[in-house]
Amino acid sequence: MLYDAAVIGAGPAGITAALYLVRAGAGTALIENSAPGGQILSTAEIENYPGFPHAVKGWELADLFDAHLAEYPVERLRGGVLSVRPAEGRLFHLDLEEGKGLDAKAVIVCSGAQHRKLGIPGEEEFSGRGVSYCAVCDGNFYRGRDVAVVGGGNSALEEALYLSRIVRKVYLIHRRDTFRGAQIFQDKLRAAENVEIVTECVPEEIRGGAAGMESVAVRSRRDGEIRVIAAEGIFIYVGMDPANGFLPEEVRRDPAGFVITDAEMNASIPGLFAAGDIRSKHCRQVCTAVGDGATAAAAALSYLEHWNA
């Protein structure tokens, strides 16, 4: 099957790109690996997306995005993309799971990023039995218990706040004494009675037994002392790695693997665009993903005009 454009990923960037493409009359396929919404599905509340002065739940915003797209004739395909490669006649060929495939004149990559792991002893062993990367999905299992959150970015701060409303106590463990997450979250966390902020410490080992995790051992970066924090759950938010494994090698990336684009979202191969968290950029927000998606679609439409000329 040949499409004008294939959009990979159905988070805010991908849904916006598909919406703009199809509204302009481009034959569009949207390839979705999981439920529409991307990372907002694992975000409890979004307070900084304009139009929702009292915040909106992540899943609610995802549903609204999805319902909006459902009004238009976008071809929605389920499954992972295994590879994208330039093919004959300036086309791209996409290999999908289960032996499926398609061709497209333009491709917009909106595959986002995945949670990074700490890589310490016990992380794998207690995965799903204490170790989690999604407070919204798993927080409720720890109602009335003590948990740790690791990281100092917006994800860690926001999810620590969410957990503080459910669990008995939250230990927020961060490796420095200043946070890169927003001041508003820091202020709320400092005001919360059941949050203890443990700074300049790095987790060294997650410990437990047959029933699951029991504690996390952290090492102080000031004096090397080890402290064992009793907690039945640990939520790890130490950054994101780009979901870029299916892209051609020649696509330019930054040292962390995020795709380098120009301001119009053109990647280093003509006809290939990137939008949202997969892009090399500083500000990763739902708003910026939506903006990237619209910009990429506009650039792809102009590329298609020349392609068809």
Give residues in contact with ligand NAP (CB under 6 A).
48, 118, 150-156, 158, 175-176, 180, 202, 237-240, 284-285
**Nearest approach, Cβ of residue 36 and ligand NAP (Å):** 19
CA dihedral 95, 257, 271, 90 (to 10 degrees): -50
SS3 295: helix
The Cα–Cα gap between 238 and 49 comes to 23
Q: Which residue is nearest to ligand NAP (CB)?
A: 153
Choice between 46 and 96, CB closer to ligand NAP: 46
Choice between 145 and 221, CB closer to ligand NAP: 221
Choice between 71 and 241, CB closer to ligand NAP: 241
**Nearest approach, Cβ of residue 196 and ligand NAP (Å):** 17
Which of 4, 138, 146, 292 is an active site residue? 138
Per-position DSSP letters for 135-171, written without gaps between them: HHHHGGGGTTSEEEEE-SSHHHHHHHHHHHTTSSEEE
Give the pair of three-digit tokens for residue 123: 């992380």
**Nearest approach, Cβ of residue 137 and ligand NAP (Å):** 15
Active-site residue 138, yes or no? yes
Active-site residue 137, yes or no? yes
Report angle CA 131, 135, 136 to the nearest 5 degrees: 140
**Nearest approach, Cβ of residue 47 and ligand NAP (Å):** 7
Residue among 159, 123, 185 at smallest CA distance from 237:
159
Contact 219, 228 (CB under 8 A): no
Which of 137, 187, 241, 262 is an active site residue? 137
The Cα–Cα gap between 263 and 285 comes to 17
Choice between 36 and 58, CB closer to ligand NAP: 58
Report the catalytic residues: 134, 137-138
